[in-house]
Structure 1
Amino acid sequence: MENNHLVYILKCKDDTLYTGYTTNMERRLKMHESGKGAKYTRGRGPFTVMYQEMLATKEAALSREYEIKKLQRHEKLTLIKEEKGKIYHANSKKL
């Protein structure tokens, strides 16, 4: 069964980071924006999606979410920076 299991990091308006899991990023972001997402994000919008990682299974995604949540803030920022670098390099190779 092929699903889009996403782990994501949001940057909140107070500059904090929130890590979560979803199968539909657009729907989940709307939930956060409307105050119906996670308790932590209520009142902290608007949000910027800083990081997304797609995994093959729900179990793998929840495990990865837990790993990321254990990271310190500077480690999460490094992860975000490294991922953006990978995306940039991947795109530049196609040119």
Structure 2
Amino acid sequence: MKGWMYILLCADGSYYTGSTNNLERRIAQHQIGEGANHTKKRLPVKLIYYEEYPRIDLAFYREKQVQGWSRKKKEALINGWDEALKKAAECINETHSRFLKKEP
């Protein structure tokens, strides 16, 4: 069964990431307040991004992956900014930074 991972833009400017096996029906549910609590309180919502998968479990896995991303990284995905997405995905912790610096 096909699945979709999707991102909605809520009325307050926040993003909601979800997955479903029927994209049209699920968006309609969100619009009438039958979706998640997050969207119910932030109507109306607008579908701004989606990905189609051959199986719903793959869409669900992707949903969980994207939910953990920063707003900046989600916006890079939504806008198709591949380079910005790569940069947002870079590790910037102290350990990684140490390897980027040239030793004297």
**One fold, TM greater than 0.5?**
yes
Cα distance, 1:4 vs structure 2 = 2.5
Identity among equivalent pairs (%): 36
Matched, 1:75 2:73: yes
Larger CA Rg, structure 1 vs 2: 2
Q: Which runs of 5 or more structure 2 residues have no equivalent in the other structure?
A: 82-104
TM-score after normalising by structure 1: 0.80
Does the 8 Å CA contact 2:3/2:57 hold for their aligned counterparts?
Answer: no
TM-score after normalising by structure 2: 0.73
The two structures, once aligned, show a CA RMSD in angstroms of 1.2
After superposition, what is the alpha-carbon deviation per residue over 1:24-76, rounded to whole angstroms, capped at 9, x for unaligned? 11111111111111111112111111111001112211110001001000100
Q: How many residue pairs end up in the alignment? A: 81
Matched, 1:17 2:15: yes
Separation (CA, whole Å) in 1 of partners of 2:8 and 2:72: 14
Partner of 1:88: none
Partner of 1:51: 49
Q: 2:28 aligns with which of 27, 30, 35?
A: 30
